[in-house]
């Protein structure tokens, strides 16, 4: 009998005894399911939820979390008046937002004026809301801070109570919330917005409010308007200097993708010999900049800085860099721009939800979509006002008929025995409908005078004009466009502000860009590389004093290269990787020193060892890789040229067969391949075609049989063989030949 223990009420346990051979439906069954079906069933709903309900902003410029918070503050009457505790706002927002209070408050912090993350903040704040430019300045808890809506938020909710947008139930169907906010300006471009969804992301930079509105107006008047003529460039809340390149901006405006470079603003304090940085790119923080500067100073790459301090205070952001005596501040800043986040790129990705579909749009398309959205808001508002005006006119027309005989109306009411008959009797007596009769019957006794009735009926003529005007607006697209344009001009007048980000033309900083890299002293030196991975850089003077090389026991030199200090070095490893550095990164040493252990200096992975060193300045020539399976790969050295020092490149060569040797050949030459069968093949490298891929498996150069393999690669020199033609072949692959008696004797003589 099978037994199963189950819990009963309280702490009791009951044993459920099952008869033998009991069959439980579905137990032990394993169903196979295609992974694509599993993803579609389980993962796709989550992905769509993140895209549509969390991460991607809509045409009004807001994500759902932003919209729910701001609408809650609107319902709380926080547009004007006193501030309220942030905790109250967070608590009320939870009626619309199913997320926790921490997430809601974090959203509020980013929208606040105190955090300085937005060009135009929507929340007026009091208290510590942290700073967007500092990762260490944390915001205070919601119970300590206060907030209300900023004046510009009026533009988000204007006429929201006139059916301008759709409303839907909240998550528990206890109240209504708007699907979009009827914003009177293209807020989607005015404030920056970042969102990471599933499989896609959005990164919208901010633009100056006045420029956005002017561009929108210009497009409404002329659909072929050139965007760049009025929308100069992005305008970031942190200010800084934007490197202006019209071609790149035009590409962003057209496609919605691209990047712009922003650099910090600084001043030089000659009296204290220091640089004060007061504005930085919005993509970085003060702490990240200082940490990078300290790292460069410790590494010896920057030697002109005496101290760097974070001096954020009541006046705002400030990083102070104390200079050593005689340092050119502009030259130093040019180097820091190249080596630190003091100059950073903002990658634009204008991904917006349009009717529930994520789309990457250019600026023209975004403004066209916003204009269509705002046009619908205006039409709905006008239709709402028109319906109210018609209802008002209808009531006043009934009231006007009472003007003909007020005494008759009073007589009808007094003569009516039952209250329910008052309205029908008024309808019969004056020829009005039920709605008009209800309105008349509800008039207070004190208002049953000619003056009151004349004042009310005087509005009839104006209402008729207003109704005719509104009906004309609904029929005329040009009238709607004129209303939108007038509203945009009013927004600029009320909330416009000067640009914060200064524009610097790329042509004006070409000289500075050329100075970004620190000048490396170039002088002759000799490089020594050993089999165990030790490296030395020695000057000719030091070699003349002592040329005897000190090596680790059992180690030997495998490469000696005469070059200069400004050359690049590539260290290939047995893990099919290459590490890049520069000769100038290593200190000059002496022959009596052990040298630098490359795996440790360059941070090799565990068990990774060097096999070959290459020295170059212009990345000319070819790399030849010879493998045990007889294949040879020929790759241009320029394929390994990158802009980053000490960068580990994986897939430096093919790992399909063990590597025998690497050769750097400036021009084609001849090598000798030796197999385990004792065969020798003179290979002219010109016979090996050049491949573009670094990890190519190469071409078959030496034919091998059975378990034989290539064991050695030697440089060929004239006179090496008595009859070289014996070991040459007109085409590859070739098997090569075993050493002849003459060559074998020569070999033995050489060995002796």
Q: Are 67 and 116 part of one and the same domain?
A: yes
Going by the DSSP 8-state scheme, the letter that residue 230 receives in this structure is H
144 tagged catalytic: yes
Q: Are 166 and 269 part of one and the same domain?
A: no
In this structure, of 32-46, 247-261, 617-631, the range with the lowest mean pLDDT score is: 32-46
Q: Are 481 and 525 part of one and the same domain?
A: no
Q: Are 596 and 669 part of one and the same domain?
A: no
DSSP string, 582-625: EGGGS----TTS--EEHHHHTTPPTT--EEEEEEESS--SEEEE
Max distance between CA atoms of the chain, in angstroms, equals 146
For residue 263 the two structure tokens come to 């650099």
Tell me the pLDDT of the chain averaged across its residues. 88
Is 260 a domain residue?
no
pLDDT for the residue 89? 96
Q: Are 460 and 564 part of one and the same domain?
A: no
Tens digits of residue pLDDT in 149-160: 999 999 999 999
Is 359 a domain residue?
no
Is 347 a domain residue?
no
* Position with higher pLDDT, 168 vs 400: 168
In this structure, of 30-34, 160-164, 432-436, the range with the lowest mean pLDDT score is: 30-34
Q: Are strands 699-700 and 631-636 parallel, antiparallel or unpaired?
A: antiparallel
Q: Are 669 and 752 part of one and the same domain?
A: yes
Q: Are 379 and 467 part of one and the same domain?
A: yes
Beta-bridge partners for 323: 305
Question: Domain holding 444: CATH number?
Answer: 1.10.268.10
Choosing from 150, 167, 182, the residue where a domain stops is 182
Rounded Cα distance, 75 and 156, in Å: 13
Contact by Cβ (8 Å): 425, 417: no
Choosing from 164, 182, 200, the residue where a domain stops is 182
Choosing from 135, 153, 182, the residue where a domain stops is 182
Q: Are 323 and 388 part of one and the same domain?
A: no
The band of 111, judged by pLDDT with boundaries at 50, 70 and 90, is very high
pLDDT at 510 over 80: no
State what percent of residues in the chain have pLDDT above 90: 57
Q: Are 337 and 387 part of one and the same domain?
A: no
The band of 523, judged by pLDDT with boundaries at 50, 70 and 90, is confident
pLDDT at 457 over 70: yes
The band of 506, judged by pLDDT with boundaries at 50, 70 and 90, is confident
For residue 616 the two structure tokens come to 């170059």
From residue 146, give the alpha-carbon distance in Å to each of 84, 86, 129, 149, 396.
Answer: 5, 5, 10, 11, 47
pLDDT for the residue 15? 57
Q: Are 134 and 87 part of one and the same domain?
A: yes
Is 647 a domain residue?
no
Which of 43, 46, 133, 144 is catalytic? The answer is: 144
In this structure, of 127-136, 349-358, 598-607, 668-677, the range with the lowest mean pLDDT score is: 598-607
Contact by Cβ (8 Å): 229, 273: no
Q: Which domain holds residue 374?
A: 369-495
Is 360 a domain residue?
no
Beta-bridge partners for 243: 504
Rounded Cα distance, 336 and 327, in Å: 13
Tens digits of residue pLDDT in 723-743: 888 888 888 889 888 888 887
pLDDT for the residue 113? 95
Structurally, the chain folds into a number of domains equal to 5
Task: Choose the most confident range, by mean pLDDT, from 198-202, 295-299, 658-662.
Answer: 658-662
For residue 152 the two structure tokens come to 């510009």
The mean per-residue pLDDT over the stretch 509-520 comes to 51
Rounded Cα distance, 432 and 157, in Å: 39
pLDDT for the residue 35? 87
pLDDT for the residue 198? 86
pLDDT for the residue 10? 45
Q: Are strands 343-349 and 319-323 parallel, antiparallel or unpaired?
A: unpaired
The band of 450, judged by pLDDT with boundaries at 50, 70 and 90, is confident
pLDDT at 386 over 90: yes
pLDDT at 12 over 60: no
Contact by Cβ (8 Å): 155, 127: no
Q: Are 154 and 81 part of one and the same domain?
A: yes
pLDDT at 627 over 70: yes
pLDDT for the residue 9? 44
State what percent of residues in the chain have pLDDT above 70: 93
Model pTM score? 0.68
Tens digits of residue pLDDT in 216-263: 999 999 999 999 999 999 999 999 999 999 999 999 999 999 999 999
Q: Are 329 and 373 part of one and the same domain?
A: no
Going by C-alpha positions, the residue among 109, 91, 108 that lies closest to residue 100 is 91
The mean per-residue pLDDT over the stretch 193-198 comes to 88
Is 35 a domain residue?
no
The mean per-residue pLDDT over the stretch 613-631 comes to 91
Is 153 a domain residue?
yes
pLDDT for the residue 512? 44
Element (H, E) at 313: none
Is 483 a domain residue?
yes
Question: Domain holding 133: CATH number?
Answer: 3.90.199.10
pLDDT for the residue 11? 45
């Amino acid at each position: 009998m099978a037994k199963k223990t189950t819990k009963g009420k309280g702490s009791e346990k009951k044993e459920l005894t099952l008869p033998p051979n009991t069959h439980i439906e579905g137990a032990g069954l394993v169903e196979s399911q295609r992974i694509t079906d599993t993803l579609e069933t389980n993962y796709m709903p989550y992905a769509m939820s993140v895209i549509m309900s969390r991460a991607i902003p809509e045409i009004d410029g807001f994500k759902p979390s932003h919209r729910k918070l701001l609408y809650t503050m609107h319902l709380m009457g926080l547009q004007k008046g006193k501030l309220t505790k942030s905790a109250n706002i967070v608590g009320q927002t939870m009626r619309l937002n199913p997320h926790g209070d921490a997430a809601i408050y974090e959203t509020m912090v980013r929208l606040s004026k105190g955090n300085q993350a937005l060009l135009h903040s929507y929340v007026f704040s009091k208290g510590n809301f942290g700073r967007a430019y500092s990762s260490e300045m944390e915001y205070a808890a919601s119970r300590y801070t206060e907030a209300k809506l900023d004046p510009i938020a009026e533009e988000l909710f204007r006429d929201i109570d006139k059916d301008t947008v759709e409303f839907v139930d909240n998550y528990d169907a206890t109240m209504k919330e708007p699907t979009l906010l009827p914003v009177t300006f293209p807020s989607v471009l005015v404030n920056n917005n970042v969102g990471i969804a599933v499989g896609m992301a959005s990164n919208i930079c901010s633009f100056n409010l006045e420029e956005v509105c002017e561009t929108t107006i210009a497009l409404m008047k002329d659909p072929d308007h050139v965007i760049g003529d009025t929308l100069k460039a992005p305008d970031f809340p942190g200010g800084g200097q934007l490197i202006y390149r019209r071609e790149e901006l035009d590409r962003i405006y057209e496609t919605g993708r691209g990047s712009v470079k922003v650099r910090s603003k600084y001043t030089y304090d000659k009296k204290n010999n220091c640089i004060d940085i007061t504005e930085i790119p919005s993509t970085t923080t003060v702490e990240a900049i200082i940490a990078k500067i300290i790292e460069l100073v410790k590494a010896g790459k920057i030697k002109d800085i005496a101290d760097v301090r974070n001096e954020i205070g009541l006046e705002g952001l400030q990083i102070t860099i104390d200079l050593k005596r005689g340092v050119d501040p502009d030259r130093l800043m040019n180097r820091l721009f190249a080596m630190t986040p003091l100059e950073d790129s903002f990658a634009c990705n204008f991904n917006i939800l349009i009717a529930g579909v994520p789309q990457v749009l250019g600026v023209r398309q975004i403004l066209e979509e916003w204009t269509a959205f705002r046009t619908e808001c205006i039409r709905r508002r006008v239709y709402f006002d028109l319906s109210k005006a018609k209802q008002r006119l209808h009531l006043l027309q009934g009231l006007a008929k009472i003007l003909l005989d007020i005494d008759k109306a009073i007589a009808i009411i007094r003569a009516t025995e039952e209250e329910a008959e008052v309205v029908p009797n008024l309808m019969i007596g004056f020829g009005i409908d039920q709605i008009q009769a209800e309105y008349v019957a509800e008039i207070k006794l004190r208002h049953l005078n000619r003056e009151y009735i004349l004042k009310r009926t005087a509005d009839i003529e104006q209402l008729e004009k207003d109704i005719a005007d509104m009906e004309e607006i609904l029929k005329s697209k040009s009238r709607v466009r004129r209303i939108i344009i007038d509203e945009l001009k009013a927004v600029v007048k009320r909330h416009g502000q000067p640009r914060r980000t200064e524009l610097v033309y790329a042509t004006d900083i070409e000289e500075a860009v050329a100075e970004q890299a620190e000048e490396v002293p170039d002088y002759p030196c000799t490089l020594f590389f050993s089999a165990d991975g030790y490296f030395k850089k020695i000057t000719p003077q030091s070699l003349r004093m002592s040329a005897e090389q000190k090596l680790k026991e059992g180690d030997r030199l495998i490469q000696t290269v005469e070059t200069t200090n400004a050359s690049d070095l590539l260290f290939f490893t047995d893990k099919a990787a290459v590490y890049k550095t520069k000769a100038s990164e290593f200190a000059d040493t002496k022959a009596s020193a052990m040298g630098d252990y490359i795996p440790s200096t360059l941070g090799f992975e565990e068990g990774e060892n060097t096999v070959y060193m290459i020295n170059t300045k212009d990345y000319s020539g070819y790399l030849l890789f010879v493998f045990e399976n007889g294949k040879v790969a020929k790759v241009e050295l320029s394929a390994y040229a990158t802009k980053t020092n000490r960068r580990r490149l994986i897939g430096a060569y093919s790992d399909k067969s063990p590597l025998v040797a690497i050769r750097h050949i400036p021009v084609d030459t001849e090598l000798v391949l030796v197999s385990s069968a004792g065969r020798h093949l003179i290979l002219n490298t010109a016979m090996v075609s050049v491949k573009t891929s670094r990890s190519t498996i190469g071409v078959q150069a030496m034919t091998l049989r059975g378990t034989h393999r290539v064991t050695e690669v030697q440089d060929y020199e004239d006179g090496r063989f008595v009859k070289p033609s014996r070991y040459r072949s007109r085409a590859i692959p070739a098997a090569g030949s075993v050493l002849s008696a003459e060559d074998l004797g020569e070999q033995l003589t050489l060995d002796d």
